[in-house]
Structure formats: structure tokens, C-alpha cells
Amino acid sequence: MSLLQVDAINTYYGDAHALFDVSLRVEENEVVALLGRNGAGKSTTLKTIMGVLAPESGAIRFAGQSIQGLPPYKIAALGVQLVPEERRIIGGLTVDENLTLAGLTAQNAWSNGRAYEMFPRLAERRNNRGRDLSGGEQQMLAIARALVREPRLILLDEPFEGLAPLIMQDLIRVCRHIAEEGRTILIVEQNVHAALGLAHRCYVLNNGHTVFEGTPDALRGDAEFMHKHLGV
């Protein structure tokens, strides 16, 4: 049984049909990349898994339990954490306070010190408010805030978007370390090469439809497909 099983979900924004029978699976201790051009339906898929959007039809199971239609806080309590594209850092709280708040309702919360071991830059900024952090530091805090809850599945939505190259490389190294620890990750990312470097398997969406499922090597081996659907 897969840790996450998404079967033929159809999601709408009002009358607009956004996802068409999208299916995917994520195994325990696996990193899966969800790729596609802007507007392909990648973030919509993550939001549907997390309960931010409710699918019109289809099924979503996490650790064998049906979760479609559950509110996000109940899905989070089961062990799923979404790191949203917007980061959603609480700007008026310090780094330390953001991490402490995230761990309050977790059954096996990390200590803040453990988060700082993974993100030394945050340790240096622990008393700074969220609004005073750089974009890269805010992204580190968003990921650290998810990790302190010891999730079974992390949903990463565009973690490298808009970051300076050096900061992005730092964050890629952290994500690779997280993956090497055996954590289960579903990552949406516009930086195709970075995502494929982390992933064991990948899916490609196009206009809300799944058009590829396979290994990174298989995807890299089809240059024409890569150019058509990913622009690389």
C-alpha cells in the first residue's frame, strides 16, 4: 500500500475544470516530483491533497485512510505538511516563535535546536521577526516549520522559486539531506533539473492532465517531450 494514493481526482475552481482524472502515488521514503508548465495544475494538486480544495470526484488515501473532503487541520494531524508557495510565515513573530508555534499541536515535535542544526542560518536569525528575513531565509523557515512537526509526508510547493542562485543551492542541499534521511516528499518545482536531481520518480501535468509517469532518467531521455511540456 502506497503512503499516498491519489485516484482520478477532478478539481474545479468555480466552473473552471482544473484537474482531469489526475492519479499519482507516493511510496514511503520516496521523493516524487510533480512537473509542468505554469498553469498545468501542479499547485492545485497539492492543495487538493491537503484539503485546501475539495475534489469534485476521485479518491485520496493517506496511510490507507480516506482523506478527501477532510479539512486541512485534520489532514495535517494525520502527518501531512504543506509548505506553500507563499510561505505564510507569521511576520510579527520571531523565527523561534514561528517554530515553537508550529510544534505546539504536534505529537512528536522537534526541539527548535534540532531545526537549527539543519538550518544554521536560522539559528543566526532566531530572534529576528519573520518579516525581516530574506526570501531564502523565509523559505528555510517555512520548511523548518513543517519539519518540526515530524510529518510522514511533506508537500513542497515551488521551494526554489525566486531565490538567488547561491541561496537556492543551499536550499537544494538541505532538501537533498532531508530526502537522504528517508523522508517522504512530493515536490512541485519549476526548476526541472533541481527537482529531477532530488526525485526517485516524477509525473508531468499538462493542462490538468497527467501526461507522464516514470523515472527522472526516462524523462531526461526524451528531449522532445521535455521541450514540449517543460520548456527545457
- Beta strands, E only, 14-151: 16-26, 31-35, 57-62, 65-66, 80-83
Q: CA distances (Å), 141 to each of 69, 115, 207, in order?
A: 29, 9, 32
Q: What percent of the chain shows pLDDT beyond 70?
A: 100
| Closest listed residue to residue 158, CA positions, set 208, 82, 85, 87 | 85
Q: What is the CATH number of the domain that holds 183?
A: 3.40.50.300
- The reply to whether 84 falls in a domain is no
For 189-208, the pLDDT digits (tens) are 989 999 999 999 999 999 99
Q: Do 82 and 142 contact (CB within 8 A), yes or no?
A: no
Residue 76 has pLDDT above 90, yes or no: yes
Residue 37 has pLDDT above 90, yes or no: yes
Residue 232 has pLDDT above 80, yes or no: no
Q: What percent of the chain shows pLDDT beyond 90?
A: 81
- The reply to whether 55 falls in a domain is no
Give the pLDDT score at 42: 97
Indicate whether this model's pTM tops 0.85: yes
Q: Residue 29, SS3?
A: coil
What residues make up the domain containing 122? 28-47+90-230
Q: C-alpha angle 176/113/195, rounded to 5°? A: 15
128 vs 222: CA distance, rounded Å: 46
Q: CA distances (Å), 232 to each of 41, 143, 148, 218, 223, in order?
A: 18, 27, 35, 15, 8
- The reply to whether 217 falls in a domain is yes
Give the pLDDT score at 86: 87
Q: Do 79 and 153 contact (CB within 8 A), yes or no?
A: yes
Indicate the range of 8-22, 37-51, 159-173 predicted with least confidence. 159-173
Averaged pLDDT of the chain: 94
